[in-house]
A and B are shown apart, each in its own frame.
Chain A
Amino acid sequence: MTHVPLEDLESLALGELPEDRKAAVEAHAAGCAECSRELSWLRAEKALLARRPPLQTAHLWPAVAARLTHPRRRPRWAWRAAVAAAGAAAAAAVLLVVARPHPPAPIATQQTQTQTPVATRPPRQRPAIDPKTLAALDRAEADYRDAAKVLEDEYARLRPNLDGELARRWDETLTRARAQLGESRAVAADDVNVRMRVLDGYAGYLRSLREAVQQSEEANP
């Protein structure tokens, strides 16, 4: 029997499925033991979570409001720790990439080289990344991103300490670094070499941010 997509069952259980699709999915589930069981599980999970009592959070607001009015200084260790953690994750990713050689792209034979005009040559096959390496690259990138956010916040907070011209130059440098990073990230996909270049880009961006923050801290009266 052809089953309905799992995403449809999930959307049905979460109450997100459009009406026109709902009837068809429900009808299928009614006659299919496997989909019916899956749907029951999905509904049970949702029900288990939904019946927890609501949380009150109003009491948390005064401290937030106070911090918005009088921002407290983030301890230096916070951003230094974030940068160090990101560096460690990146180092681990690099080790994995180096330790797990990836299959080389197939070498074109003389015959195909002569037969295939340059303009229509098929795209070079990218080496596949094994899941562990991919996960390490994802983690390293996420840690870099987290560290960048911490440093960006810190720079935004301390920037007023800087001389106007210096602040403008740092803004330009950081904007340029961010744009370059965005460009390399946009084409990264699952190509190990491009993903490594993205990590290099993050490392460079973090270095710039760290320097900007340090200068801002030193300028702090």
Chain B
Amino acid sequence: MRVAPLPGEVLGARDRDSDEELLSRARTGDAEAFRVIFDREAPGVRRFLGDLLRDDAAADEGTQETFVRAHQRLGTLEQAGKLQGWLFGIARMVFFEQLRRKRRDGPPLATSEEPREIDRAPSPEAVLLSAESDRMLEGALADLSEDRRAALLMRIDHGLGYGEIAAAMGWTLQKVKNEIHRARLQLRASLAGYLQESAQ
């Protein structure tokens, strides 16, 4: 690996470099280029893993593991434009490895319920305005199965397209659409339930 370049070069690079240029530099062993990729992408990966694992220490460790593996596999990423989805695919794999360990050692985790249409009808505005909205969101996300949660978050929170999500999850495009739709119905039903609880 090449020795890091001068700091001034690095600071300027963050705004200037395209993903393509960064990747090409990182592939040749430029540590600072990989550092810039890390700085850009790690917050999203960490958020994603935090939402999946709901354990800060595990999410930190998972983020580090994701980037170590990404570095080893830089040569396999064909299009720089797919960097984020590619990283999320690795993060998802890291997550499932951690999950297997947890399942072996800990209590059972959430299973995927079939979503139902919301029979109570809260307004989305009421959810947004609730003082408890952060807690409600956390609870509603936790109610989703891991795969559904991952797909929904990739779409809404991280802005990945359906094709990128399909690649990251190893699903067909149709399955991505179905799972995200079901995730939304389930999320809204959970939010409605939490809203009703908080009103009582």
Contacts and interface: CB of A to CB of B under 8 A. Distances in A.
Given A69-B1, A142-B170, A41 B124 contact: yes
B43 A68 contact: no
Interface string B34-55: 1100110011001100100000
A15 to B, nearest CB: 9
Nearest to A6: B181
Nearest to B124: A44
A55 B46 contact: yes
B6 interface: no
Interface in B45-69: 46-47, 50, 60, 63-64, 67-69
Contact of B43 (A10, A54, A78): A54
Contact of A81 (B72, B100, B170, B188): B100
Q: How large is the interface on A (under 10, 10 to 19, 20 to 34, 35 or more residues)?
A: 35 or more
B149 to A, nearest CB: 12
Contact of B93 (A6, A69, A146): A146
Interface in A54-112: 54-58, 60-61, 63-65, 67-69, 71, 78, 81-82, 85
Contacts, number: 97
Main secondary structure on A side of the interface with B: helix
Contact of A60 (B42, B93, B127, B184): B42
Given A43-B124, A68-B31, A85-B100, A63 B72 contact: no
Interface residues of B, number: 46
Contact of A48 (B42, B133, B169): B133
Given A45-B187, A138-B172, 17 more contacts: A14-B155, A41-B124, A43-B124, A44-B127, A48-B133, A49-B156, A49-B157, A50-B157, A52-B47, A60-B60, A68-B1, A68-B68, A85-B100, A141-B170, A142-B170, A146-B97, A153-B73
Interface of A: 6, 10, 14, 16, 37, 40-41, 43-50, 52, 54-58, 60-61, 63-65, 67-69, 71, 78, 81-82, 85, 138, 141-142, 145-146, 149-150, 153, 156-157
Interface of B: 1, 31, 34-35, 38-39, 42-43, 46-47, 50, 60, 63-64, 67-69, 71-73, 93, 96-97, 100, 123-125, 127-128, 133-134, 137, 153, 155-157, 159, 169-172, 175, 181, 184, 187-188
